[in-house]
Amino acid sequence: MAPVDTPRHLRLPALALLVVAACGVLGAPPARAADPQAAAPVVPVDGALGPLKPWLAHDDWTVRSIAAFDLRKRSEDGVIHLAARMLAKESHPYAAAGALGALRGRPRRELVMEGGPLLADAVLRWARCTHPTVADYAQEVLRTLPPVKLGDDLERYAGWWKRGREALGREQRALLAEAAKQKAGAPKTKAKKSTSVETGRSDDRFYGRLELMRKHGLELCIVMDHTGSMGRVIGAAKVGARRLIERLRAYVPRFRAGLVTYDDGARLRATLTSDPAILRKAFDKVGAGGGADLEEGVDKGVRLALAQGRLGWSQRAYRVIVVVGDAPPHEGDVRGLFRLLAKARDDVLYDKPVVVHTVSTDDLPVLHFPQIAAAGGGQHVTLRQTGRLVEELVMLTFGGADRGRIRGWMAEIGQLRADDPERARR
């Protein structure tokens, strides 16, 4: 552990802290129990972190988990404090892993100053978690908290904590006072223009969308070109259909998916369903063929997908349509398609407007596909590797413009699930 540069007037108390904490291991009499009514010190939290606060305390573990995942990229004052506060109340191991990930690798000085006894209590509890990865994360953070090295035996940390709680609390207050004094004595500089307002709006939009999905459901209709040139893409969709539903339902339990295919006309293959087997059977019946002309009936596919009486959309669910193809719509149908999208997004029958994404299956964007996505309030992507179709569908459906954030989070949750001895119960 690197030495802390302690001011002269704090050196004796700091030495005393070291002795008291070490006594917990060496067998000295236990210190007097801390007063549970004693006020916790005030830890400064940068205003730019404000948008994350309500999501870190959300009643849904998925929302808390992504918010904690976002903390890892932040360096403002208060990141550790917010993570510690979340961990102290957390009950779901995957969300705890997100907060612990925001603490790993942070210097001891920062962990003690912003986390203090609250953090030590929480990580000691999570160090005993039955999930091996979560326990490893917690033990890594726990090893940095005592002022002396205690090895890997958790009982030694429990003994230290039983006797060293007050000492850590005093060290936290001393560090906070020192930081406040340094800040007060620092020369004042012209404040930079804050971007926290815009960041807050972006975060609120993202988490608001996630909250809506988890509460009211997520529904996806895949609208796919089934002409001859789409053979490999359709094959990938057949292989990945079950995985698509299983992955999205793991994050949003109330998830349903449907399938529409098109050439110059359109055909409903599957109404919205939560059964992976039904969607897989629907894809199995799709054969790539036809399509001698350059343009296809994209508008026909979208129109059929939007038909409430055919698909069975829910009034309150977050509704997504993903158009997948390699050919543009008939030029004479483009204006009508844009009018259709505008009308659909303003439909008062639903609580939220439908979102339409597009996927070009060639290396270059299909003509009009980016504009169709923009008109539908969605995103356009190019599918450079056929094997990534399911991942692209998941990213667009769940994340939209937040693809990078969602991709990293999903990869971590997927690994946590794979390593979870109790995953069947979660």
Looking up residue 129, the CATH number of its domain turns out to be 1.25.10
- Hey, which bits of 162-205 come out as E strands? none
- Asked if 155 and 220 sit in the same domain, the reply is no
Q: In this structure, is residue 1 part of a structural domain? A: no
- pLDDT value at position 39? 65
Place of tokens 């893409």: 233
Per the structure, the complete domain to which residue 90 belongs is given by: 11-26+45-183
Inter-residue contact 220 to 74 (CB < 8 Å) = no
Neighbouring residues of 308: CB distance < 8 A, sequence distance ≥ 6? 349
- pLDDT value at position 6? 39
Crossing angle for the helix pair 93-103 and 79-89, to the nearest 10 degrees: 160
- Asked if 130 and 274 sit in the same domain, the reply is no
**Which of 380, 285, 370 lies closest to 334, judged by CA?**
370
SS3 256: strand
- pLDDT value at position 211? 81
Q: Indicate the number of domains in the chain.
A: 2
- pLDDT value at position 200? 44
Place of tokens 């979208």: 302
Q: How far apart are CA 165 and CA 33, in angstroms?
A: 8
- Asked if 154 and 253 sit in the same domain, the reply is no
Cα-based distances in Å from 182 to 9, 15, 75, 179: 14, 21, 19, 5
Q: How far apart are CA 163 and CA 21, in angstroms?
A: 7
**Angle, vertex CA 48, rays to CA 45 and CA 51, nearest 5:** 95
Last residue of a domain, which of 167, 183, 199? 183
Q: In this structure, is residue 197 part of a structural domain? A: no
Inter-residue contact 43 to 176 (CB < 8 Å) = yes
Q: In this structure, is residue 62 part of a structural domain? A: yes
Place of tokens 């994340």: 399
pLDDT string in tens for the chain (426-residue length): 344 443 433 343 443 333 333 333 333 333 333 443 356 789 999 998 988 898 899 888 888 998 999 899 899 999 999 999 999 999 999 999 999 999 999 999 999 999 999 999 999 999 999 999 999 999 999 999 999 999 999 999 999 999 999 999 999 999 999 999 988 877 765 544 433 333 444 556 777 778 888 889 999 999 999 998 899 999 998 888 888 888 888 788 899 999 999 999 999 999 999 998 999 999 999 987 766 678 999 999 999 999 988 999 999 999 999 999 999 999 999 999 999 999 999 999 999 999 999 999 988 899 999 999 999 999 999 998 888 888 888 888 876 666 777 888 888 988 999 999 987 667
- Asked if 216 and 86 sit in the same domain, the reply is no
Q: How far apart are CA 291 and CA 274, in angstroms?
A: 31
- Asked if 177 and 215 sit in the same domain, the reply is no
- Asked if 139 and 213 sit in the same domain, the reply is no
Task: Return the amino acid letter for 262.
Answer: Y
- Asked if 261 and 395 sit in the same domain, the reply is yes
Tell me which H or E stretch contains 261.
strand 255-262
Q: In this structure, is residue 99 part of a structural domain? A: yes
Using CB atoms within 10 A of its CB, is residue 324 exposed (0-12), middle (13-18) or buried (19+)?
buried
Last residue of a domain, which of 140, 166, 183? 183
- Asked if 115 and 229 sit in the same domain, the reply is no
Query: The whole model's pTM is what?
Result: 0.69
- Hey, which bits of 263-416 come out as E strands? 266-273, 318-325, 355-360, 377-382
- pLDDT value at position 204? 66
Q: How far apart are CA 171 and CA 18, in angstroms?
A: 10
Q: How far apart are CA 408 and CA 29, in angstroms?
A: 48
Place of tokens 């010190």: 41
